[in-house]
Amino acid sequence: MEIPDSKPIDHLAFCGAGEVPALVVRKQAISYEALNWRIAALAEWLRGQDLVPGDRVATWLGKTDIACIMPLAAARAELVHVPINPLLKAPQAQHIMADSGAKLLIANRQRLGLLNDVTTDFVRHEDKALAAIWEEGGDIAADWLTGSDQSPDALAAILYTSGSTGRPKGVMLSHANLWLGAVSVARYLGLWPDDRTLCVLPLSFDYGQNQLFSTWYAGGCCYPLDYLMPRDVLKAMARDEITTLAAVPPLWLQLAELDWPEQATAHLRRMTNSGGALTEPLVRRLRGLAANADLVAMYGLTEAFRSTFLDPALIDSHPTSMGRAIPFAEILLVDQDDAVISGEGEGELVHCGPLVAQGYWQDAVPTAKRFRPAPKGSHYGGMAVWSGDTVRRESDGLLYFVGRDDAMIKTSGNRVSPNEIEEAVIATGLVAEAVAFGVADDALGQAIIVIARPSDDADSETILHMMKPLVPNYMLPQQIVLHDALPRNANGKIDRVRLKAEFVAAGEPVS
């Protein structure tokens, strides 16, 4: 498919029409004209904070109006947006601020209070204190009301994802990455100006953030939702006549256990899934709950945004397939010699094309490992993302996920580093050594298991309680097993493979 000209991502503000709603936050409708005004006002304010082009600005927010508008406002101000997942705790937020070198953080009062003891040199602003920016009659220079003229290759955002080193890594995304991601998704999902998207995913995720961008590219309206219970999602679907709902498998499982009112599906056109594979029983259940809506299975990498989608016409006959390449992506399978597999077979998935990110922020070694020259025979060439995932292509060209080559744990739609979990366990002061790994779980994708050697007479419940302030809930272990000693391999390192194999062989139930 021919690649359209890329634009700075803040040009998305012009894709809707005038007074047509672009965003509804806490029952307040914001038109496209007002959206552009707010982007301009926030961009002007940002540049008045002693920031210069290229500086990083961070948000640590739920789905507020500022959280939704900041990605475009920062881009228009020629700054780089660093969204922090609101589920993260203070230690993770502190690391991201320090690693990115962000000079400014916008968060609510409670989150800012958690960082009172942080000595990192950055300016803090409470989101509610910025309400004056939206007041009527404010003077804005006309130049701010038009899109920026930055290069599409300029850095626009850094999205942090857990890495194999145990610390979140910042994926660098250009204006072109974000723009073409919006165009691609809007096209293959068939979004229209009358679409209404319920945004339940964190806006710090590329999947969640793209819901804003792709919907606005199509001229539709976004309805951000911070929900407490899965039933709140169904209520919002009915109340706001939602046409598009995106989620990850754990949320789909929770929703599938509920009885869906007719009003929730009366306007629903499509359901989309990423962040983990759908099981066949879950596909059948969702299809039964919303028979008139498309169910779109997708596979993605933060390092390349998204790679594949399954034509919804094939979901009933191929419920576990990850489909084929999305627009503007070239997906290759390579063997152990890095040769391209042209037909059926299994190999490492390599993503080529303009959706490939610019690498990891100030992290040369992981960048060199993951971002490498495209295999010979690639249509696009240039740098590619070597996923480390084994994928199978069948005779009809459809792709199927086989397994992950690294030790990352995929739980609740999040990629979690075992090292980071182990550091948190040891940080309790109750454990001398720990090993974390994932085991298959129908609800979570993978459940986190920790095998630990306690330093004293600590019990599992106390260790878990001490971990809660240190990591977000999705990183808490489902089970902590205590051993007097942990086995070691010939190099003197803890034998992780043996520990996991023994746990699985024992058939211990996951609590």
Q: What is the pLDDT of residue 135?
A: 67
CA–CA dist 476, 436 (Å, integer): 11
**CATH code for 18-175?**
3.40.50.12780
Which superfamily, per CATH, for 409-506? ANL, C-terminal domain (3.30.300.30)
168-217 pLDDT, tens digit per residue, is 789 999 999 999 999 999 999 999 999 999 999 999 999 999 999 999 99
Tally of CA atoms within 13 A in the half-sphere of 253 that contains its CB: 16
State the pairing for strand pair 80-83/56-60: parallel
Q: What is the pLDDT of residue 208?
A: 93
* Beta-carbon contacts of residue 391 (< 8 Å; ≥ 6 apart): 322, 333, 346, 347, 348, 349, 399, 400, 401, 402
Q: What is the pLDDT of residue 409?
A: 87
Query: Which part of the chain has CATH 3.40.50.12780?
Result: 18-175
Q: What is the pLDDT of residue 163?
A: 43
With a cut of 70, list the residues of the chain below it in pLDDT. Answer: 1, 13-17, 117-120, 135-138, 162-167, 404-406, 489-493, 508-511
CA–CA dist 117, 182 (Å, integer): 39
Tokens 């992290």 map to which residue? 363
Instruction: Give the pair of three-digit tokens for residue 434.
Output: 């720990």
* Beta-carbon contacts of residue 68 (< 8 Å; ≥ 6 apart): 23, 25, 203, 212, 222, 224
Q: What is the pLDDT of residue 164?
A: 36
Q: Give pTM, 2 decimals.
A: 0.84
Query: Which part of the chain has CATH 3.30.300.30?
Result: 409-506
The answer to whether the beta carbons of residues 138 and 41 sit under 8 Å apart is: yes
